[in-house]
Structure formats: C-alpha cells, structure tokens
C-alpha cells in the first residue's frame, strides 16, 4: 500500500506556479488575482476560503476576500459578481458554496464571466469539460486528476466507481475518469443514494472515489484487494480533546481499508490539499488567457 500524498503533490504544483510568478514579476507583469466571495459565517467555509487566500499569497498571487452578510439578497450578490466581472484586474472569481437559502446558487454561478470561472462550475465550463475540450475544471476533481498524474497512476481500461453525484465533485469526477486523456479512459459507474447494489459495485472497482460526505462509509468489505481508493470526505466531527473542537473524518474507514489497497489518499493530507492546487492552476490559466502572459 502506498499513500497518495496530497502534501507532496500539491507542494510540487505550488512550487511550479511560484516559479512562473517569479518570472512574471521579474518581467514587470502584474500577478494573477483571485477574488473570493464569502457569504455569511459558516465555519467550514471560513476555513476553506482562508486557506485558499493564504495559498494564493504564499505563491505570489494577489487575492481579495469579499465578505458579505448572511442575509444578503440575490440582486445584491449579483451586483457584486457584476463588478468583479467588469474589473479588468480580477482574473478569477470564486463564490464559496453553500450559499444561504434565499439565494439560488445556479443564478450566481451562471452570472460569473466564464473567462473568470476558476471554480469550473459555470455551465460553459461544465459543457466544455464534458466534451473533453480545454476548460476550467471543478477544483476537487481537477486536484484528484493532478494527484493521479503526479503518482503516474495507470487508469486506462480500469473499472472506476464514484460514490456521490454532486455537481462539485462526483459528477465531474465520473466524466473526467471516462474522458479520453492520459489519466482517464476508465469504465465508470456513478453511484448515488438510489443505487441498489452499492457494495457489490464497489467490490468491482479498481479505482474507488468516495465523495458522498458520510464519515467512514467505505469499509474494508466494500473494497477489492489492490484497489486505488480516493477519499474526498472532509466531515467535521466534534472532539473536545482537539484545539479546534473538531476532528476531520473522511468517507473511508482508513485503518481497515488501507491494508487492502495499492494506493490510498489520507484525510487530512490528501484530496483537500489538491483542491487548492486545482484552484491555483485554474487561476493561473485564467490569468494567462486574459493577459496573454504565462
């Protein structure tokens, strides 16, 4: 069993980006600029956005965090998006999800200029990704593809099972693994809450991606000997013994599953770090396409 280490892979990607930025700055170009919009004070969202902003700054990107109140209405949020769309110095726009219930997420996502859609959630980005054309790809599935690439995992012809059909992770992941490219060409089964024989399907998987958000859901009896297991779960479990008051748990029961696998991602230290790497790469791409510099 080998660990697919998100820390090592993401550091390597961040170093490459940092080198690119150093060259840009030496040539008197402005750095890429990510604008992150955070609505309300959801604890997990606060942590994720803070980490995105911190990582931008660490590699030399400019970042702007726009905080908006929980009770903001849709027109006001659309107005913020419009301003960012029209700001020539903003390359990437990220609106952290979930949004409060009074706001239709799809309206907001669709209002982002597709040229600045570094989350890859806009219908234009999703459409291109489905067709296998170059596009912004949702950061978590993109990060997983980058992890497979870093470890040169052979995927061609393998049976892949993805658990969870969210627009952010499961569905794009299933498409990327099936597309015709170096880390795709799998035969993919996308499982969800109505899947009848989930355990049997998982047992067939050469590559199993758990993205359903249920801590410790995947147990050893569901996993084929030698499988590659990717754990996307990051559920906070209350734990008074830790400084933060919680512990992060993945969707995979790591201790019992790991010995059966050929490769497995840990939580924390796996997919979460790769999500940031995916976002940074998307932001660099948006900048290069918009400014003509790379």
Contacts with ligand GUN by CB under 6 A lie at 94-97, 119, 139-140, 168, 275
Is residue 20 annotated as part of the catalytic site, yes or no? no
Residues 280 and 61 sit within 8 Å (Cβ to Cβ):
yes
Is residue 96 annotated as part of the catalytic site, yes or no? yes
Look up tokens 């990060």; give the residue.
143
Look up tokens 């948006």; give the residue.
286
- How many Cα neighbours within 13 Å face the side chain of 247? 8
Nearer of residues 24 and 168 to ligand GUN, judged by Cβ: 168
Residue 4, C-beta contacts closer than 8 angstroms, at least 6 positions apart: 147, 151, 153, 228, 230, 263, 264, 265, 270
Least distance (Å) from ligand GUN to the CB of residue 265? 16
Least distance (Å) from ligand GUN to the CB of residue 49? 8
| Sign of the dihedral through C-alpha 257, 178, 14, 42 | negative
Nearer of residues 140 and 216 to ligand GUN, judged by Cβ: 140
Least distance (Å) from ligand GUN to the CB of residue 95? 6
Least distance (Å) from ligand GUN to the CB of residue 163? 17
Least distance (Å) from ligand GUN to the CB of residue 154? 27
Least distance (Å) from ligand GUN to the CB of residue 139? 5
Nearer of residues 96 and 174 to ligand GUN, judged by Cβ: 96
Look up tokens 């911190």; give the residue.
54
Residues 248 and 268 sit within 8 Å (Cβ to Cβ):
yes
Which residue's C-beta sits nearest to ligand GUN?
97
Is residue 119 annotated as part of the catalytic site, yes or no? yes
Nearer of residues 34 and 201 to ligand GUN, judged by Cβ: 34
Nearer of residues 52 and 290 to ligand GUN, judged by Cβ: 52
Q: What is the DSSP string of 119-137?
A: T--SHHHHHHHHHT-S---
Dist. CA 89–CA 35, nearest whole Å: 10
Residues 251 and 218 sit within 8 Å (Cβ to Cβ):
yes
Q: Residue 36's closest CA among 45, 27, 26, 44?
A: 45
Residue 28, C-beta contacts closer than 8 angstroms, at least 6 positions apart: none
Nearer of residues 59 and 168 to ligand GUN, judged by Cβ: 168
Residue 202, C-beta contacts closer than 8 angstroms, at least 6 positions apart: 161, 163, 191, 208, 218, 222, 223, 224
Marked catalytic residue, from 14, 20, 96, 281:
96
Marked catalytic residue, from 14, 20, 52, 216:
52
Dmax over Cα atoms in the chain, in whole Å? 58
Marked catalytic residue, from 91, 113, 117, 119:
119
* Residues with catalytic function: 52, 96, 119
């Amino acid at each position: 069993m080998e660990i697919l280490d998100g820390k090592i892979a993401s550091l390597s990607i961040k170093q490459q980006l940092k080198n690119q930025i150093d060259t840009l700055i030496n040539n008197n170009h402005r750095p890429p600029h990510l604008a992150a919009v955070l609505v309300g004070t959801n604890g997990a969202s606060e942590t994720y956005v803070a980490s995105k902003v911190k990582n931008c700054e660490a590699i030399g990107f400019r970042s702007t965090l726009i905080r908006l109140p929980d009770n903001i209405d849709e027109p006001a949020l659309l107005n913020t998006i419009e301003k960012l769309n029209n700001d020539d110095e903003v390359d990437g726009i990220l609106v952290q999800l979930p949004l409060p219930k009074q706001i239709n997420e799809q309206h907001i996502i669709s209002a982002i200029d597709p040229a600045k859609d570094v989350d890859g959630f806009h219908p234009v980005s999703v459409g291109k990704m489905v067709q296998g054309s170059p596009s912004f790809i949702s950061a978590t599935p993109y990060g997983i593809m980058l992890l497979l690439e870093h470890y040169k995992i052979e995927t061609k012809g393998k049976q892949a099972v993805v658990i969870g059909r969210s627009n952010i992770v499961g569905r794009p992941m299933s498409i990327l693994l099936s597309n015709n490219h170096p880390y795709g060409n799998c035969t993919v089964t996308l499982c969800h809450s109505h899947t009848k024989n989930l355990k049997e399907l998982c047992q067939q998987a050469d590559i199993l991606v758990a993205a359903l958000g249920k801590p410790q859901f995947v147990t050893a009896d569901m996993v084929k000997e030698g499988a590659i297991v990717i754990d996307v779960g990051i559920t906070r479990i209350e734990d008074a013994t830790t400084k933060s008051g919680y512990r992060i748990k993945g969707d995979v029961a790591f201790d019992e599953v790991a010995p059966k696998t050929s490769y497995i991602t840990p939580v924390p230290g796996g997919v979460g770090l790769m999500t940031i790497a995916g976002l940074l790469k998307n932001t660099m791409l948006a900048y290069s396409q918009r400014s003509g510099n790379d």
